[in-house]
Amino acid sequence: MTSFEWGMFVLNLIIALTYAAILWVMVQQRRLMDRQLETMQAQLREAERTRMAAYRPILRVEAPLASGLPYLDFYQVRNIGVGAALSVLFFTHEFDASTTSVSGRIEPIGAAEFSQEFPITTRALLHPALTITYEDVFGNRFWTLYDIITQTQTFGEGEPPHLRR
């Protein structure tokens, strides 16, 4: 191999190493940016959760009142959260959501306020349950599931999974 060829070989080697070094630096920069992006997304999620918590309504079902009419009770919910509950809907259904007997709408409920009374009839339901869905001021959706037999309450965010079709 002549000295010219050696020179070309070394030059190509230097160019290849330079490109490899540049590539390595770019990959490291990309990894660093990905980590920064993840951190920023986590901070954003935390900020959204904090904002949601500051305005979150939570509706708890109160003890029913017998109406005196056959099989008809009046229920009421109380907003034990810190924000107003808007677009409040209620559904009386089988616990497994196979049958719905009554659905309806009630007025928005401010923090610490009781709702108006609404009618519930559980006749023909083997295991009756009451689901309330509602929104906060930003449109985030929440739900409360009340098991009428065991009188237990479950609270959740988003669409109620037991009522999804």
104 binds another protein (CB under 8 A): yes
Nearest approach in angstroms of CB 80 to another protein is 11
- For position 119 contacting another protein by CB under 8 A, the verdict is yes
Euclidean distance between CA atoms 35 and 8, whole angstroms: 41
Q: Does 100 bind another protein (CB under 8 A)?
A: yes
Residue number with CB closer to another protein (1 or 66): 66
Please report whether residue 107 would count as binding another protein according to CB under 8 A.
yes
Phi, psi at 74, each rounded to 5°: -105, 130
SS3 for 13? Answer: helix
**Ramachandran angles phi, psi of 122, nearest 5°:** -115, 10
**Which of 136, 143, 144 is closest to 57 using CA atoms?**
136
**Considering the rule CB under 8 A, would residue 164 count as an interface residue with another protein?**
no
**74, HSE (Cβ side, Cα atoms, 13 Å):** 10
Measured from the CB atom, the residue of 76 and 153 that comes closer to another protein is 76
- Give the nearer residue to another protein in terms of CB position, either 52 or 74: 74
Q: Does 72 bind another protein (CB under 8 A)?
A: yes
Cα 142 from chain centre:
7
Sign of the dihedral through C-alpha 155, 72, 103, 123:
positive
71 binds another protein (CB under 8 A): yes
Determine if 163 is a binding residue for another protein (CB under 8 A).
Answer: no
Contact letters for another protein, residues 15-54 (x by CB under 8 A)? ----------------------------------------
3-state class percentages of the chain: helix first, strand second, coil last, to nearest 5: 35, 35, 35
Report the interface residues with another protein, using CB under 8 A: 65-72, 74, 76, 100-107, 112, 114, 116-119, 121, 123-124
